[in-house]
Amino acid sequence: MSGWAHPHGDRRVLFDREADRYDRSRPSYPAALIDAVLGASPQDLSVLDVACGTGIAARLLAERGARVLGVELNPRMAEVAERHGIPVEVGAFESWDDAGRRFDRITCAQAWHWLDHDAAAGKAADLLRPGGRLCLFWSIGVHPVELAAALEDAYRRAGAEHLTIGYGGDRATDPEAAIAIVSDGLQGSGRFAAPRVQWFPWTRRYTRELWLDQVLSHSDHIALPPEQRQRVLDEAGAAIDAHGGGFDMEFRSVLVSAEPI
């Protein structure tokens, strides 16, 4: 969840060449979170998935019977989502033409920090039907303590200690404080009632290859000069090899949901 404000143009360039890698290596979301988003009767709910990427979250919503439309700035990522059966309209959500359509849910998975929060909140409030909800969610993961220390040393040797080593967080960060900023921002917009924040713990097993694959789907790593990026991969790979060639990552997925007022 690092980097709360990035220009749209940068996002388009950084992710365009890594769409397939992003799709195969990024983690999914726990079933309990998807249930909390859709509620007890998901069939035929109309869902707009904002900044849907390759449709990782959108597919989970559609599998429950919801009717999902994606909006995505990056054409290549939109192509991957459509390949998985998610219809996508390409463009920035803040300026997207809704053509009068309204929705029961507006979701945004792992991407709200890329948007203009004030503009996006206002637009989301306008697009929700009565009783609808805005649902923002992220997965925040950290390595085992011993591996985290080894990776910190590895990144330091590669001259890349400024990068985020964990999946959106590390043990030195406070994810609850970051989420409070999102929650307070929604309520402060004057368009939403007090948000509800829910946390969902889970784990995922990573091999060395799978971890390094997903590392290259993150914007801060993609943006490195090629030689330094390779040094990061070599050093991180060696650290994971020394840890047994794989590890279990602890995740906490968080859902911030709010109804318009």
Question: What DSSP string describes 56-106?
Answer: HHHHHHHHTT-EEEEEES-HHHHHHHHHTT--EEES-GGG---TT--EEEE
- pLDDT 10s digits, 204-246: 999 999 999 988 888 889 889 999 999 999 999 999 999 999 9
H or E element that contains 206: strand 196-207
The residue written with tokens 């849907």 in the block is 52
- Mean predicted lDDT score pLDDT of the chain: 90
How far, in whole angstroms, is CA 30 from its chain's centroid?
13
54 near 80, Cβ under 8 Å? yes
Q: What is the pLDDT of residues 27-40, one digit of tens each?
A: 889 999 999 999 99
Task: List the structure tokens of 61.
Answer: 């919503």
In whole angstroms, give the CA distance from residue 114 to residue 10: 10
Domains of the chain: 8-143+168-205+252-258 (3.40.50.150)
115-144 residue pLDDT tens:
999 999 999 999 999 999 999 999 988 899
- CA nearest 260: which of 172, 195, 177, 164? 195
The answer on pLDDT for 14 being more than 90 is: no
pLDDT at 192 over 60: yes
Residue 256 near residue 137 (C-beta atoms within 8 A): yes
pTM to 2 decimal places: 0.87
The mean per-residue pLDDT over the stretch 45-54 comes to 97
pLDDT band with cut points at 50, 70 and 90 for residue 16: low
